[in-house]
Structures are given as C-alpha cells and as structure tokens.
Amino acid sequence: MKNIIVFIIKNKSFFLFILLETISLFFVFNNNYYQKSYYISSTNNITGYIYKISSNISGYFQLKQTNKTLARENAKLLSLKKNSFLINNKYDSIYKQQYLYIPARIISNTTNKRNNYLMLNKGRNSGIKKDMGVVCQNGVIGIVKDVSDNFSSVISILHSKLKISAAIKKNNQIGTLEWDGKNYRTGVLNYIPTHVNISVGDTIITSGYSFIFPKGIPIGKISKFKIKKGKNFYDIDIIFFTDYNKISYVYIINNILKKEQLDLQTKSQNE
Amino acid sequence: MNKYLKYIFLFFFLIFFQILILNNIEISGYINPYFYIIFILILPIETPKWLLLISGFLLGFGIDIFSNTLGLNAFATVLVSFMRPVIINLLINKNDLENIKIPGIKSFRFLTFFIYSLILILIHNFTLFYFDSMKINEFFQTFTKALSSSVITLVLVILSDFLFSKRY
C-alpha cells in the first residue's frame, strides 16, 4: 500500500495528466447530455453577452451589405402582396398558416471547423424552441440545438452530423444534402439516382419533407456531377447561394403544425 | 506578484484574441491559426508540471466554452502541456537549461526554438483537427488542414516572439 502511494506521489504529474485528459474526453463525448443543458443556461448567458458586444461593433461594418439584402427581400415580399395580383383567391376556406418566421441576428459564427455552430441573439423568451429550422433569404442555415433565455445555439449546415432533405427544383427529385468539410462554399447532394436527368446549374431547394423547413427555400446550385462505376447514385457537388461567412440576419422557422404531424407519424408507425 | 498578474492578463488576452479575432480569420476554408497555444510555449521553464497541466486545461477549456466544442481544445492543450517538459529535455541539455528562464528565440536560439514550437504546435493542431473530424475517409483532407494551420500558427508564434520577447 505504501509503495502504491509513493508511486502515485512520485508520478503525480502523470496522474494529473491522465485525470485532466479523462475529464476532457468526458466532456467531448457527453456533449449532448445533461450537463450540456446546465452549461447552456449558465455559461451561454455570459458568452452570449460577450459575443453580443463584439457583434454590435462588427455589425456596423456590414450595414451596407445588410441593407442591400433587406431591400431586395422587401421588394420580393411586396410583389407577393395582395394588390400585386390580378386575381386574388388566396383567402380560400382551406387557407391556413403553417410557418411563422422570427427574425434574429447572428452573434457568433464559425465556418472553419469541421463541426460549426452559430449563436443567435434570441432565445426562449422570443418563443424559440429546440429543433426549429433557421434560414436566411437565400439558404438554409441550420437547426436550433439549445436555447437559453436570451440566446440560442444553432448547428450549422456546415456540420458533419447535419443532413437536410433537399430536392432538385426542376424535377423534384429528392436527395440528402451534406457538408463534406472541404470548403464552406460547397456541399454535396447524395442519393439522386442515375436515371434522373440533371445538369450543371440546376437549383437545389429544400424538399419540405422534414417537419422543420418549408418547401422551396433555395439552397444552392449544382456545380459538377459524375457517376462512379457500379453505383446507383450520382456524386453531386453543389455551391451554396449564401456565403455563410457573411450572413448577419436570419429567420427562425416555427412550424405551428409540427406537433400534429409528429403525432400522426408516431401513430402510423406504431401500428 | 507582478509576474503572475502578467501571465493572468496574457491568459485572458489570448482567449479573447483567439475567439473574437482569429476565429473569424479564414483563408480558402483551410487555414485558421490557433495562436492561443503560445501561452503554454512561453511559460517560464521553472513552472512546475502540475501548474503547466492545470493552466493548459483552463486555457483549452476557456476556448471551448466560447466555441461550443466542450473538451476538444482542453484535450489538445493538456497534451501539449504534458509534452512540453519532455520536448525541452530532448532539445536542450541540462547545463544549458539552468541559465534559461523563459523559452524564446534569444534564450533557446532560433533553430531550437523553431523546432520546439514546431513540434508542440503540430501535436496541438493534429489532435485538434483529427478529434474534430473523427472520420477515416476524410483523413487526407484533415491532414492538409492541420498542416496548413500549424504553419500559420508557427509563423505567428515566431513573429510575436520577435516583437514582444523583451517585455515578458
């Protein structure tokens, strides 16, 4: 027994090393579990405020760009207004709203890691919940991972574990959009069967088959594609419409009917 | 007292510098310098091993809290702080070591300091990138990324040692 104690004291720095590495590994692999929720509510508020100050400053440098995108977006919305249509029969008896949009500002964002996250300046107090989708005018940003009272952290589309159901606009062929980690401007579209006709420049949109994103949000366009021998699916590379390094304002999507959809799904799966 | 304050100030400065400035720098989607590791590189030689390890852990953890990668940076920095005494003993013999207080270009001479920083930065970056990616089929892609950001980090470390080494 004495020998063991002497051994430990003699090699105390080595044991400290092992201990600290174990703690780190524990954090790495438990990132999704309980202490995460504790961590998010206590620490995120502090980190959130620091990021907010920093983004308040850097926001000034992007004002011009932001104004331009907002103006473009306004023009698009104006063209959708009631008086822009010759015949307006939108107010049918079956007309019902499904998606609500909540605007938010990005206060921290990375694009240079393999797994990227963003932080937004709105949280639980603004009605944001876990698993809501986040989009911008010309692209999908990600999915809300955690919320605290005033902030929410979002898994970026530039993340190894996020896969989004996407479709080719012209023929509605469904595939899965992923990020391969090479460049933040490009991604890959998988599971498009080889019998489908595609060409460079085809637009990729969200499919609307998940409960998170509505159909038809533009994501990117095909930059190149090839067929590997013996495979049934294309290898498609796409270019995102959005420069994820430059966005500053986003919309969080609240799917009002999500609960109903999920209930129905579980019901039919259980039978 | 003054000495400790300096290092504590440097500790926080490096964390914020990394988070607010360096993490926003990006060249062609590959290069992102992890400059904060210089804190471990330039701690005095006489720093006890346990203090090295603890400060490495706190530094990495500080970065982790801000970048949503809980434990990732901490793991890499603790590894670097564990390897530091080993590398120093390998590169410099004991007699010379007695005259050296702080690792730097002046005290180590350029080539030794270059190799010393290179090895530790490589350890740090490769652990960080492979741990982040964790995919075998992205092996080479991760390799280029880790290598290129090691080079940039090394350049920054050498440059800042040239510029600021007199002050601490």
Tens digit of each residue's pLDDT (9 = 90 or more) over A57-88? 877 877 888 888 887 888 778 777 666 666 65
pLDDT at B59: 95
**Rounded Cα gap, residues A190 and A164, in angstroms:** 10
Q: Which of B53, B71, B74 sits opposite A16 (nearest CB)?
A: B53
Report the residue count for chain A: 271
For residue B30, the enclosing domain spans 2-164
Q: Which residue has the higher pLDDT, B98 or A202?
A: A202
**Rounded Cα gap, residues B159 and B164, in angstroms:** 9
**Rounded Cα gap, residues B3 and B51, in angstroms:** 15
For residue A180, the enclosing domain spans 103-271
pLDDT at A115: 86
**Rounded Cα gap, residues A101 and A252, in angstroms:** 6
pLDDT at A239: 94
**Rounded Cα gap, residues A255 and B101, in angstroms:** 62
**Rounded Cα gap, residues B72 and B68, in angstroms:** 9
Residue A266 maps to a domain: yes
Cα pseudo-dihedral B58, A122, A140, B30, rounded to 10: -20
Q: State mean pLDDT over B109-135.
A: 91
pLDDT at A35: 45
The reply to whether residue A28 touches residue B129, judged by beta carbons under 8 angstroms, is no
The reply to whether residue A24 touches residue B78, judged by beta carbons under 8 angstroms, is yes
Provide the CATH number for the domain around residue A189. 2.40.10.350
Please state which of the ranges A149-163, B27-41, B50-64, B121-135 shows the lowest mean pLDDT: B27-41
Task: Please tell me if residue A23 touches chain B, with a CB cutoff of 8 Å.
Answer: yes
Overall domain count for chain B? 1
Report the gap between the CA of B46 and the closest CA in chain A (Å).
15
Q: Which residue has the higher pLDDT, B43 or A4?
A: B43
**Rounded Cα gap, residues A189 and B72, in angstroms:** 29
pLDDT at A63: 82
Which residues in chain A are closer than 8 Å to B28, comparing Cβ atoms?
A: 183
If DSSP codes are grouped into helix, strand and coil, which group holds residue B76? helix
Provide the CATH number for the domain around residue B133. 1.10.1760
Task: Please tell me if residue A171 touches chain B, with a CB cutoff of 8 Å.
Answer: no
pLDDT at A249: 87
**Rounded Cα gap, residues B11 and B5, in angstroms:** 10
If DSSP codes are grouped into helix, strand and coil, which group holds residue B168? coil
Those residues with Cβ within 8 angstroms of residue B163's Cβ, 6 or more apart along the chain or in another chain: none
If DSSP codes are grouped into helix, strand and coil, which group holds residue B68? coil
ipTM for the whole complex? 0.87
**Rounded Cα gap, residues B151 and B157, in angstroms:** 10
**Rounded Cα gap, residues A161 and A135, in angstroms:** 18
Q: Tell me the one-letter amino acid at B103.
A: P
Task: Please tell me if residue B51 touches chain A, with a CB cutoff of 8 Å.
Answer: no
Task: Please tell me if residue A161 touches chain B, with a CB cutoff of 8 Å.
Answer: no
Residue B74 has pLDDT above 90, yes or no: yes
CB B77 within 8 Å of CB B56: yes
The alpha carbon of residue A148 and the mean position of all alpha carbons in its chain are separated, in whole angstroms, by 17
pLDDT band at residue B30 under the 50/70/90 scheme = low
Which residues in chain A are closer than 8 Å to B56, comparing Cβ atoms?
A: 20
Q: B30-45: b or e for each residue (b if 16 or more CB lie within 10 Å)?
A: bbbbbbbbbbbbbbeb
CB A98 within 8 Å of CB A214: yes
Which residues in chain A are closer than 8 Å to B133, comparing Cβ atoms?
A: 114, 160, 181
The reply to whether residue A183 touches residue B29, judged by beta carbons under 8 angstroms, is yes
Contacts for B55-63: CB closer than 8 Å, 24+ residues apart: B55/B11, B55/B81, B56/A20, B56/B80, B56/B81, B56/B82, B57/A20, B57/A23, B57/A24, B57/B81, B58/B11, B59/B11, B59/B14, B59/B15, B60/A24, B62/B11, B62/B15, B63/B15, B63/B18, B63/B19, B63/B36
pLDDT at A167: 93
Which residue ranges of chain A lie beneath pLDDT 50? 33-35
pLDDT at B168: 46
- Give Cα separations from A12 to A2, A64, A158, B51, B84 (angstroms): 15, 57, 41, 12, 16
- Chain A CA closest to residue B69: A28
Overall domain count for chain A? 1
Residue B33 has pLDDT above 90, yes or no: no
pLDDT at A34: 44
